[in-house]
Amino acid sequence: MAAGAPMGAGTTSDIYKGDAARLMMPTWLIIGIFLLAPVIMMGVYSFLTKEFRGGVVWEFSFAAYDQFFFDRGLFGDDPPTLEWTYIGIFWRSIWQAGLATIMCLLIGFPTAWFIATRDPKSRSIWLFLITIPYWVNLLIRTVSMKFLIRDTGPLNEFLLAAGVIDTPLGLINTDFAVQLGLFYSYLPFMVLPIYAAVERYDFALSEAASDLYAGTWTILRLVIFPVVKPGIIAGCILVFVPSLGAFLAPDLLGGAKTFMIGSLIEEQFKGSAGNWPFGAAAAMILLTLVLVILLIYARAQNKVEDR
């Protein structure tokens, strides 16, 4: 074994045993004060009363959540009925994020599979090609997509000139444009975990299976799928969760009809039309949703590891 090879890696080492608190202190302070405390404070804000020019009045109130879920008529004294506007926006966000995730899976899975089955040298080049766009500024990527697909953009100009279409496709400001933008934003998040799972798969296993009279379909279902499944699930979560709260793609590529959670929240904090407690409440609901998804995922992971 070479001198530089990792040895005893995985053994718990305790050279800095007494220093843990000192070393962790900056992390605890920075993330504790500037993320954990703000999130808690945001939770508090969601139970306060709104001030009309933005900000809050320190008076306890359920008004924000009430406004989110119930309609009490113009003067607020009608019997409450379920308010669908905001629930609808959440539902559309889930729907859009879900479709974007499916698009990523349909394109990302074959891509990941293809890359993982190349020889190691070309593998790293393919992987590099897939990841580069991720490192390009998200805003610039989204603007580029907007430029490409808008009615007077190169795509339509090209298709019109080629005589394929008579009128512009009208892609921009549609649900599909938002899905495309989300797909474009988060595709590498789908490819990478699936790639990692497939790369770990030992193809000798499928040879062994076919030696034991398994057909291609059986091999896929019983041998390969269980190995690749964790990668697929991880990829779906990594795409779905940020898509859910995305702001740029819906804002730049979607129109007024394709309002998503991110834009709803953003609107509450911009200008005088804002409603901080309501924005905080919507953010709390989004956070809860995401944490529930992550918790279910973590539970499932632990179960797999326990086995």
Partner 1 sequence: MASPEIAVSIDQVVKRYGGFTALHGVSIDIREREFFTLLGPSGCGKTTLLRAIAGFEDVNEGRLLLKGVDITNLPPHKRPVNTVFQQYALFPHMTVFENVMFGLLRKNWIQSEAQRRVQDVLEMVQLSDFASRKPAQLSGGQQQRVALARALAPRPQVLLLDEPLSALDLKLRQAVRSELKALQRETGIAFIFVTHDQEEALTMSDRVCVMSNGRVQQIGSPKDVYEAPVNRFVADFVGETNLLEVTVNKIKDGLASVALPGGNAFECPAAAVVDPGVGHLSVRPERIKVTADGQGDLDAVVTGHTYLGTDIQLLVRLADDEVMSVRLQNSQTTEIPEQGAAVGLVLEAGAARLLAD
Partner 2 sequence: MAAKIDLRRFPGFLGITLICLVVLYAPLIIVAVYSFNDSTSITNWGGATLNWYVDVFTGPESPKFQQAALNSLIIAVCAAGAATCIATAAAVAMTRAGRFRGKTLSFALINLPLMVPEVVTAVASLVFFSAIGFTNGLFTILIAHTVFCIPFAYLPISARMQSISDVYEQAAMDLYATPREAFTKVLLPLMMPGILSGSLLAFIISLDDFLITNFVKGAGVETLPTAIFGAVKQGIKPNIMAISTLMLGVSIVFVTLSWLVGRVGQNKQK
Which one of partner 2, partner 1, none interacts with residue 95, CB within 5 to 8 A by kind? none
Residue from 52, 55, 80, 255 in contact with partner 2 (CB under 8 A): 55
Site string for partner 2, 258-287 (x = CB under 8 A): ---xx--xx--x------x--xx--x--xx
When asked if residue 140 is in the footprint of partner 1 (CB under 8 A), the reply is no
Q: Which does 60 bind (CB under 5 to 8 A by kind): partner 1, partner 2, none?
A: none
Q: Which of residues 3-62 bind partner 1 (CB under 8 A)?
A: 3-5, 7-8
The entry of partner 1, partner 2, none near residue 216 (CB within 5 to 8 angstroms by kind) is partner 2
Write down the least CB distance from residue 214 to partner 2, Å.
11
Q: Which of 154, 208, 222, 299 binds partner 2 (CB under 8 A)?
A: 154
Taking only Cα atoms into account, the Rg of the chain, rounded to an integer number of angstroms, comes to: 25
Closest to partner 2 by CB, 216 vs 301, is: 216
Please check whether residue 147 is in contact with residue 64, taking contact to mean a CB–CB distance below 8 angstroms: no
- Following DSSP, what letter does each residue of 100-137 receive, concatenated? HHHHHHHHHHHHHHHHHTS-HHHHHHHHHHHHHHHHS-
| Helix-helix angle 84-116:120-135, to 10 degrees | 150
**Shortest approach of partner 1 to residue 1 CB, angstroms?**
6
How far apart CA 169 and CA 183 sit, in angstroms, is: 19
Q: Does 203 bind partner 2 (CB under 8 A)?
A: yes
Residue that the structure tokens 């089955």 belong to: 117
**Of the two residues 3 and 256, which places its CB atom closer to partner 1 in the complex?**
3
Q: Provide the sign of the torsion angle of the four alpha carbons 154, 159, 163, 166, taken in this order.
A: negative
Tokens matching residue 56: 């809050």
**Residue written as token pair 């709390």:** 284
